[in-house]
Structure 1
Amino acid sequence: MIKEHQIDAELVQTICQNIAENVPVNAALPKNGLLHIDKLLPFICVYRYKDIDVYFSRLLKTQASYLIVEESIDIAHLLEAIRLITSEKFETFLILELWPNKDALKNQFQIYGPKDKSIETINALVEGFSEIKRALSTVSTKVIPTEFRHPKHLTPLLDINTSKKSGTLVIGISIPAVYQNTNTNELFSLFFRKFYSIFSETIKRAVYEFIRVQTTDAFENYLMLGKTHIDAATIASDTQLAEISERMSFLLRVTPVNSNEEWDKFEQNEFTVKPSFKYRLIAIDPELEKRKLFNIPIDLVEDPTLAFILRGKRLEIEKQLIMLEERGTDNFRFIGESLYGVIQKDVLDAAKYILKTYPKGEVIEGSKRFNSSEFAAHAQREIDYYAKKFPNLDLGIEIRDDVAGIMVSKSKLLINNEMDLDANRCDALIQHEIGTHILTYCNGKSQPLKQMYEGFEGYDQLQEGLAVMAEYLVGGLTVNRLRLLAGRVIAVQSMVNNASFIETFNLLRTAYAFPNRVAYSISMRVYRGGGLTKDAVYLAGLIDLMAYLKNGGKLEPLYSGKFNTTHINLIEELLYRNVLKQPILPSFLDRNEAKERLKKLRRGMNIVDLVL
């Protein structure tokens, strides 16, 4: 066919200059075409269209290097220029031409490639696309060895002889449009999300195999072939989610402001009258916030990994907004159970095992005590250390009468003014609150994604597991502390079984020998707002983290921000892709005793031995 349009030579020159200087390319081409090259890479995905398929275009946009162009435009010169620039670093170049097949009778991925060559690349495509079959059994994959590697009505991007001489491999892939209704073009949205995630992964793995076999500049991991730079749609969605989450201040809104006063009344009434907790006024309209929440165009986010993270966070925020509306009712608890999950049998068994192993708390005669001011003075030294690491953030300590015990809000350590603390627990609590919670907030603040400090969906579990592990690593995890974590699980289970506040309080102090004030504090945390199952995640997070370390998991990425165990692979991917920065690690990891204790964790430990 006759080409009608050429791409401007000056534009090609600018594109090549950007590629050579490793500057991201986002070039608009004639007739709504688009060239995107995130960084210097030895491949490109090409889609030539007559009438653009926006959904198929989104598949290509999951990649770090793609060309979406109207089929009448001559792109041979552009492709050759890109190949020449990349050849200065890479020995070969891969062109993947992809096109949609909307024939309802052909639910088949058809891979057109060379015979007996690039077998690893072809196999990676076959293996990847076979994952679609798990969700849609009618889909199949076929490899067709041929020199014909382009849509039937078009001319080849590169003839075979030329490609051989230039060290370029062309593979054609016909993609079945099974994510659409072929009669109405209606998108099967939920399936499409899975489809484009598998597609994205498959292309990267196939390209990685090509690079690994054909070049000497092998990437360390296929994930490094993903996008490094975050697009405007992602930044906008991330920012809007973070703004809603920050305005909500969920934990502060569901924490009683009168816990000390209610304890005094509870004790005076000989523990027979249920406390009446008061909460901060809710300074937002949850209905309006939900409207803003679902106006966020996450569907425009091209990166499957980032879209998954943002959708999960949106779901969590939605549930928290509903919980604020239902604060003080049973619905608060039920929605919270869907958010924080139910107690797993292994966690409940571990809690009972801990309390059986240590049926009573330790009483240390004559041990030194710290009041709130004395503890704050010690904590300030750690705050000062991290303030130097993060000079642009406002780290600080506040002593207040409207918080229960000790808690962190963003980069602030909040201390109850009536707090009384065993001096031997001082360092452990500092590393729990500052060396974990504040540090991960600060690391998250240094990342390009705001969710890294606001917290991914369900981030509390890993955060609390990491914080309790810090207590162990500095030698401050006591019998009383471990019993407390177990007691919280018992209290949550009691509440879920519909026991009253007083029944749970009595269970803790009679069956498990918790002191009255401790039993009250546990019960208050569990019954706040109408019932919050979150406190069970401390022990669950510790159990998950111990298993993760025993199985060889890396500790360092866990300090990158606030996320859950289920997100670790995603975080490692984003670190490989240089989307995220390497985190600053807690100072206590430099201590020799911490290093030795970490080795023990990696070898595997019984949870009750963490206090020995």
Structure 2
Amino acid sequence: MIKENHIDSQILEEICEKINTNKQLTWELPKNGIIHIDKLLPFICIYRFNTLDVYFSRLIKTQASYIIADETVNINHLIEAIRIIIEQKFATFLILEFWPDNNPKSTAFQISCPKAKAPATLKALKKGFESLNAVYPNISSSVNVEKERHPIHLEPLLNDAESKKTGTLIIGISVPTLYKNSETNELYSLFFREFYAVFSETVQRAAYEFIRIQNADDFKNYLMLGKTHVDEITSKADKDLAAISSGMSFLLRTTPVNSNEEWERFQKNNFKKPPTFKYRLIALDPELEKRKLYNIPIDTVDDPTIAYILRGKRLEIEKQLTMLEERGTKNFRFVGESLYGVIKKEVLREAKKILKAFPKGERLKSEPRYNCYDFAKYAKKELDYYNEKFPDLELSYEIRNDVAGIMVSKSKLLINDQISLDVKRSDALIQHEIGTHILTYCNGKQQPLHQMYEGFEGYDQLQEGIAVIAEYLVGGLTVNRLRLLAGRVMAVKSMVDGASFINTFNLLKRKYAFSSRIAYYISMRVYRGGGLTKDAVYLAGVIDVLKYIKNGGDLETLYTGKFNVNHIEIIEELLSRGVLKPAVLPRFLQRESVKIRLKKLRQGIQVTELVN
């Protein structure tokens, strides 16, 4: 007989008061136990332990509502108190008790439940657990009609007769511990990641089926049952990653500071002597940064979705740090290819199609032009508008001689002091840089995850895609601009195929009819640092966004922060869970002309039809 310890009545009362406020609760229980309730939900997960299995407890911690308790601590009164509070809002209450199967050879999930109760919930549990077969053959799950739905050596959490009267359903689940070596307790880390991701989603889907049938329609989908709040461990890991990423200033440190001067020298040498680019000094030690990077304990992040985001970003940062180490060598390019990917056949095909449809650039009429100061004055109006939307951030511009053209660094617009812009293109450029890049940075800054503004792994592609689409929507995407995107793809292809700077420059100038200056700047961007394939993602991103909008995608979602197209479902999940806030949208979307063009995109158009 287990000698029980009871939770002090005063502590019980304080816990209940906290739950009643419907605010996040995390409370330590006696003997290393814990109760966590992210928000008021009509279900809770329970794990009672003899010796705490830290890996098993991490499975339970993937949920928004759980109790992990030493089996000698009587939690029955606590559960009953929670049930009463839940009953005031929801018609029924689901208790899922989990325990590890101590049989090291077991590959089966044993689900114990009352007869003919919640078939949809049981089906969701069975189907979800069996999906692990894809990574670990022979996993099975069975549903057993049992009166006892708890570990055999323990007492039930609630009296069976009372639970029937109160609309409470208890399901017990014995879980095989396939994710670790039974003899050494060594964790099979890669399999465990998959295991706990599947476990997390399965429990939420099962609970949703119970809620959908038994309760009022308080939850639109199972994702709303996930965690809303970012815990301290996750927040610190996210913050530390962002600090390393921000400290790199990767693009600034891989952009030449003497591109204007080298253009003049290149021109004087009749385009026969390749330029010699110089870069900012690297004021960090990549090896030390990598050490800090892998000291961040992402493996302790309980939320599978956020852990996935952080791991992806960590890999990207590691590659960027390696690229900084290899700046100026061929290895820079090779690592960059693994980071930005190779040119897809579809992207290459569209680039060729653009250059065939528009074999020559448009001749600019003698239209008014802006110098750097004129453009800055115009841009300031847009910056002032968003400064009102984000009063806690400082949006500004800076005119400099060490940047190529126009670019954004966080919330600052950087303008080259030598630029000369067609006035008609200025609005498009402003919506590209401010209405997209700066706005998504500001929206990301309002989110609890730093990666939302620092950028997920590979975020450049979608960022540039929506930025170019913004140019189209405001009526400023020209033949020359579209040709430029295609030219970048062809330049990257030329470089990857082994061509020299001079050969690529000549290809752009002679075969694709780019001006000498434009051919130089395209080549400069592609050959900087030792070869950067990033410029091919602009057109790839445009193709992605066109598909997304045509397929009914919500354009507003794309402005939530900085992420790639393969992260859109994750963003939608985090929005559904309430982890992320809806985005402040670009004001150009309010224009009637923009609404007409957006309607065309939804109907579906070719890339070559984007020219305004």
Shift of 1:480: 0.6
Alpha-carbon separation, structure 2, partners of 1:318 and 1:222 = 34
Q: Deviations over 1:253-303 (max 9, x none)?
A: 000000000000111111110100000001111111111111111111111
Relative to structure 1, is the Cα distance of residues 2 and 292 closer, same or farther in structure 2, using a 3 angstrom cutoff? closer
What are the ranges of 5 or more consecutive residues in structure 2 without an aligned counterpart?
none
Q: CA deviation at 1:445?
A: 0.9
Structure 1 unaligned blocks of 5 or more: none
Map of 1:400 onto structure 2: 400
Matches within 5 A, 1:287-366: 287-366=287-366
| Larger CA deviation: 193-202 vs 156-165 | 156-165
Instruction: After superposition, give the CA deviation of every residue in 1:542-583 in whole Å (9 maximum; x if it has no partner).
Output: 101111111111111111111111111111111111111111
Is 81-90 or 295-304 further displaced after alignment?
295-304
Structure 1 residues 340-374: Cα deviation after superposition (integer angstroms, max 9, x where no partner): 11111101101001111111111132122111111
Partners of 1:132 and 1:139 within 8 A in 2: yes
TM-score in terms of structure 1 length:
0.99
After superposition, give the CA deviation of every residue in 1:48-89 in whole Å (9 maximum; x if it has no partner).
Answer: 110010000000000000110111111111000000001110
Post-superposition shift, 1:2? 4.5
Equivalents in 1 of 2:177, 2:311: separation in Å?
A: 24
- In the other structure, the counterpart of 1:252 is 252
Contact 2:80 2:158 in 1 (8 A): no
* Deviating more after overlay: 211-220 vs 270-279: 211-220
The residue type equivalent to 1:15 in the other structure is I
Separation (CA, whole Å) in 1 of partners of 2:454 and 2:92: 43
Alignment partner of 2:31: what SS?
Answer: helix
CA distance, structure 2, for counterparts of residue 42 and residue 12 of structure 1? 19
Aligned residues: 612
Residue 594 of structure 2 corresponds to residue 594 of structure 1: yes
Q: CA deviation at 1:218?
A: 3.1
Q: In 1, are the aligned partners of 2:328 and 2:529 still within 8 Å (CA)?
A: yes
SS at match of 1:99: strand
Residues 444, 562 of structure 1: 8 Å contact kept: yes
| Secondary structure of 2:566's aligned partner | helix
CA distance in 2: counterparts of 1:554 and 1:147, whole angstroms: 48
What corresponds to 1:583 in structure 2?
A: 583
Decide whether the 8 Å contact of 1:256 with 1:403 is kept in 2.
yes
The amino acid across from 2:155 in the alignment is T
Structure 2 counterpart of 1:547: 547
Which whole-Å CA distance do the structure 2 matches of 1:26 and 1:198 have between them? 24
Alignment of 1:6-405 (within 5 A): 6-405=6-405
**What residue is the counterpart of 2:483 in the other structure?**
483
Question: What amino acid sits opposite 1:266 in the alignment?
Answer: F
The answer to whether the 8 Å contact 1:3/1:74 transfers is no
Contact 1:97 1:170 in 2 (8 A): yes
Distance 1:525 1:344 in 2: 20
Aligned to 1:514: 514
Instruction: Report the Cα offset of residue 327 of structure 1.
Output: 0.2
Amino acid at match of 2:201: E
Deviates more, 1:530-539 or 1:359-368: 359-368
Distance in structure 1 (CA, Å) of the matches to 2:70 and 2:217: 33
The Cα shift of 1:24 comes to 1.2
2:442 is aligned with 1:467: no
Distance in 1 (CA, whole Å) between partners of 2:348 and 2:112 is 54
Give % identity: 65
Amino acid aligned to 2:502 = I
Kept in 2, the 8 Å contact 1:64–1:227? The answer is: yes
Aligned partner of 2:441 in structure 1 is: 441
8 Å contact kept, 1:233–1:301? yes
TM superposition shift of 1:392: 1.2
1:356 counterpart letter in structure 2: K
Looking at structure 1, the residues matched to 467 and 495 of structure 2 have their Cα atoms a distance apart, in angstroms, of 25
Cα distance between partner residues in 2 of 1:97 and 1:592:
55
- Structure 2: which amino acid aligns with 1:103? N
- CA RMSD across the alignment: 0.9
* Superposition deviation, residue 114 in structure 1: 2.2
Provide TM-score, normalisation by structure 2.
0.99
CA–CA distance in structure 2, aligned partners of residues 434 and 65 of structure 1: 41
